Amino acid sequence: MKLVNIGAALLLTVTGIFGSQAQTANAVPTVDEIINKYVDAIGGKDKLSQIKTEYMENTSQVMGNEGPNTVSAIDGVGYKSVSEVNGQTFTQVFTNKGGWQVNPYAGAVTPTPLPDDVYKMGKSVLNITGPLYNYAAKGNKVELLGKDGNDYKLKVTTKDSVEFTVYVDGSTYYITKLTSTAQMMGQTMDVTTTFSNFKKDDQGLVFPYTLEISYGGQFNITITVNKHEINKTIDPAIFEMPKS
């Protein structure tokens, strides 16, 4: 479940947000209580723990241009995204050993290794079920920052010291937004991903089928999920960088 990355199914033991009867209605929930509510809302830990692969066929809209995109991922092994815009194909791959890309927009028409900073910022996509699922075992730290309207704000710090903020709706307990920073064109900008159009699949898992990504307000990407498959057979060989 990519938070483009992305990603984002979460797992912990389900616990009521109000906890024991001794708590008051106004008690502030803990991080684990919020995460547990989210897990329950999107299908439960038993279903989430069985996710091993993910495949998506999407339509991406970038600055008035539209094109297809596919995502193939094996949990903890590899993630590959292939996009076509204006006749150009952009490929980006992350593996547990490194990453590579084909980026014609930057003049790289043959496969080249990902820069270390790009790999570090994006390698969390290898966790199909998201950064909050079994977060302690993954080396992540999660902190409750408070509320923004009806949303709980959770700050996530990965074991590689990458930070981002996850917004969890206090009514549905779906993740509705993710904010982070990224280096683009030599400058640091805020990146905001908004999730909507949630649907439940035949397995009882809930996914967002629309993603809106804003890069510092300078340009936006809209991703519409047309096809989503869990545990489809994926050949790990697709993550290997082709030889020049």
For position 99, which CATH number holds?
2.50.20.10
Number of domains in the chain: 1
The reply to whether 25 falls in a domain is no
- Global pTM reads 0.84
pLDDT of residue 164: 94
The reply to whether 21 falls in a domain is no
Domain boundaries, position 196: 31-229
pLDDT of residue 169: 96
> Which has the minimum average pLDDT: 20-34, 68-82, 147-161?
20-34
The reply to whether 92 falls in a domain is yes
Query: Please, how many CA atoms are within 13 Å of residue 70, restricted to the half-sphere of its CB?
Result: 7
**What pLDDT, in 10s, does the model give residues 67-101?**
999 999 999 999 999 999 888 899 999 999 999 99
The reply to whether 15 falls in a domain is no
CA distance 174 to 113: 35
Decide if pLDDT at 235 tops 90.
Answer: yes
105-112: average pLDDT: 86
Q: What is the mean pLDDT of the chain?
A: 86
The strand pair at 187-200 and 53-62 is best described as unpaired
The reply to whether 211 falls in a domain is yes
CA distance 169 to 176: 6
The reply to whether 119 falls in a domain is yes
pLDDT of residue 214: 95
Decide if pLDDT at 21 tops 50.
Answer: no
The reply to whether 16 falls in a domain is no
**What pLDDT, in 10s, does the model give residues 176-211?**
999 998 776 667 889 999 999 999 999 999 999 999
The reply to whether 239 falls in a domain is no
